[in-house]
């Protein structure tokens, strides 16, 4: 039986696609790609159907991490299908808890809960001028995804 993880942010064009791509890369490097279902999704539908922000794409290209994502909304059924749903900030978590139907199996938590450096909130770089915030977000996701996998 596959394990499953869903990464959530507001728009599904910056933070959660980066987390998804980093996680996929990490499980691929560990030889565990076929053991995982991995996806990301949005809480808002402003960017539905769009590819990730070009600064997120540039950041992942710089690190040699493939990213293939089209923004889509989180669904009610996701709460029953995924084992883990990781949000990027406290607003994401309270929104997810509000939307979770009864009988959800997913464990909803902050991705940053797994950061060995203790940074709980994943940097939201959407309103930045440049791409430094995207690098920061990438580094946080990298630490958290690897620590999460190590903890299993």
List residues near ligand 4NP by CB under 6 A. 9-15, 46, 124, 126
Nearer to ligand 4NP, 9 or 142 (CB): 9
Nearer to ligand 4NP, 73 or 80 (CB): 73
Shortest spacing between CB 1 and ligand 4NP, in angstroms:
30
Nearer to ligand 4NP, 46 or 76 (CB): 46
Shortest spacing between CB 88 and ligand 4NP, in angstroms:
7
Strand residue runs (E) in 1-66: 3-9, 36-42
Shortest spacing between CB 144 and ligand 4NP, in angstroms:
15
User: Nearest Cα to 55, choosing from 43, 41, 67, 47?
Assistant: 67
User: Nearest Cα to 70, choosing from 12, 19, 7?
Assistant: 12
Sign of CA dihedral 89, 91, 97, 99: negative
Instruction: Tell me the C-alpha distance between 75 and 23, whole Å.
Output: 21
Instruction: Tell me the C-alpha distance between 50 and 67, whole Å.
Output: 13
Q: Which residue of the set 39, 53, 115, 124 is catalytic?
A: 124
Instruction: Tell me the C-alpha distance between 138 and 52, whole Å.
Output: 13
Is position 98 annotated as part of the catalytic site? no
Nearer to ligand 4NP, 102 or 119 (CB): 119
Shortest spacing between CB 33 and ligand 4NP, in angstroms:
24
Is position 15 annotated as part of the catalytic site? yes
- Active site positions, annotated: 9, 15, 124
């Amino acid at each position: 039986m596959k394990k499953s993880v869903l990464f959530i942010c507001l728009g599904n064009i910056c933070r959660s696609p980066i987390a998804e791509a980093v996680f996929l890369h990490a499980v691929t490097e560990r030889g565990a790609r076929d053991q995982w279902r991995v996806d990301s999704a949005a809480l808002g539908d402003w960017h539905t159907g769009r590819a990730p922000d070009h600064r997120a794409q540039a950041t992942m290209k710089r690190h040699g991490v493939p990213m293939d994502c089209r923004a889509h909304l989180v669904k009610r059924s996701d709460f029953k299908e995924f084992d883990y749903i990781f949000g990027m900030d406290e607003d994401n978590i309270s929104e997810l808890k509000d939307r979770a139907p009864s009988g959800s199996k997913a464990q909803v938590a902050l991705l940053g809960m797994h950061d060995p450096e203790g940074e709980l909130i994943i940097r939201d770089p959407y309103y930045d001028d440049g791409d430094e915030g995207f690098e920061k977000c990438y580094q946080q996701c990298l630490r958290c995804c690897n620590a999460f996998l190590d903890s299993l």
